[in-house]
Amino acid sequence: MKKLFKLGLLALTVMALMIAAVGCGGGEEPATTDGEDTTETLTVAFEPTFAPFESTDENGEFVGFDIDLINAIAEAQDMKIELKSLGFDGLIPALQSAQIDIAISGMTIKPEREEKVDFSVPYYEAGLIMAVSEDNNEITKPEDLAGKTIAVQIGTTGANKAQEYKEQYGAKVKTFNTTDLVFMELVNGGADVVINDKPVTKNYIETRGEGKVKMVGDLLEGEYYGIAVTEGNTELLEKINEGLNKVKENGKFGELYKEWFGITPPEYLPGNPS
């Protein structure tokens, strides 16, 4: 009798243990073991036809100042990141729907965008400029754009400016998905002028457009680039701003700036111009 009782108790204990084990297996979170890295991987997205900020090299690797900068921030702040290519006009929606965590894509900080996403402090000062074919001497200022065709990249500040000139001067606007296609249209004669960020247009001329394309006129608009995160993600934003500050202090920012632009950055960058 006593033996039978003991046996029954053993069986019950075994059953209880089995139930407990099955119950545990139901959770989605894997159990944390000592030393296991549980840092989440943050998705960083950009549109990669924007050299020298982001482009794809001959091995298919993403390269550029933005790529190096976000890697330096990730290193300084112990963040794990993975890179993702997206259309420029898809970046803000992807942040809003939390499909990505960070966008670094030569993205101009502007009020309309600040209503949708949150920006870091500025890390680069840019501006819009017009570019035409080398043999074009008709266009030197916005007023010359009456009846002319402007090529721009979709969703960009250049596209907004072109829209303004369409209304103001009766220009025509052709919109493309990538900056490569924008310049191709100009070179092929499908457009009279490109409105794009000056450092990128300058880089295009130096690397591919020498003797074919030239910049004309003054800067149409001054702009600052910022790193964007999903609106309200203050924890990540603070981490990025703190990271920007660290890479500024430790000289890494200046090193990368020099490497990609050939000059030392203005004193205030990254940070707000006073």
Q: Dihedral sign, CA of 177, 182, 185, 189?
A: positive
The CA distance from 165 to 239, in Å, is 39
In the bound state with ligand GLN, the residue whose beta carbon lies nearer, of 74 and 228, is 228
The CA distance from 245 to 15, in Å, is 57
The least distance separating ligand GLN from the CB of residue 91, rounded to whole angstroms, comes to 8
The least distance separating ligand GLN from the CB of residue 194, rounded to whole angstroms, comes to 12
In the bound state with ligand GLN, the residue whose beta carbon lies nearer, of 47 and 101, is 47
In the bound state with ligand GLN, the residue whose beta carbon lies nearer, of 179 and 230, is 179
The CA distance from 208 to 221, in Å, is 25
Task: Judge contact between 52 and 199, C-beta under 8 A.
Answer: yes
The least distance separating ligand GLN from the CB of residue 196, rounded to whole angstroms, comes to 7
The least distance separating ligand GLN from the CB of residue 225, rounded to whole angstroms, comes to 6
202-206 long-range contacts (CB < 8 A, ≥24 apart) are 203/51, 203/52, 204/51, 204/131, 204/179, 205/131
Task: Judge contact between 82 and 45, C-beta under 8 A.
Answer: no
The least distance separating ligand GLN from the CB of residue 197, rounded to whole angstroms, comes to 5
In the bound state with ligand GLN, the residue whose beta carbon lies nearer, of 76 and 194, is 194
Q: Which residues bind ligand GLN (CB under 6 A)?
A: 47, 50, 88, 105-108, 153, 156-157, 179, 197, 223
The CA distance from 69 to 102, in Å, is 13
In the bound state with ligand GLN, the residue whose beta carbon lies nearer, of 119 and 253, is 119
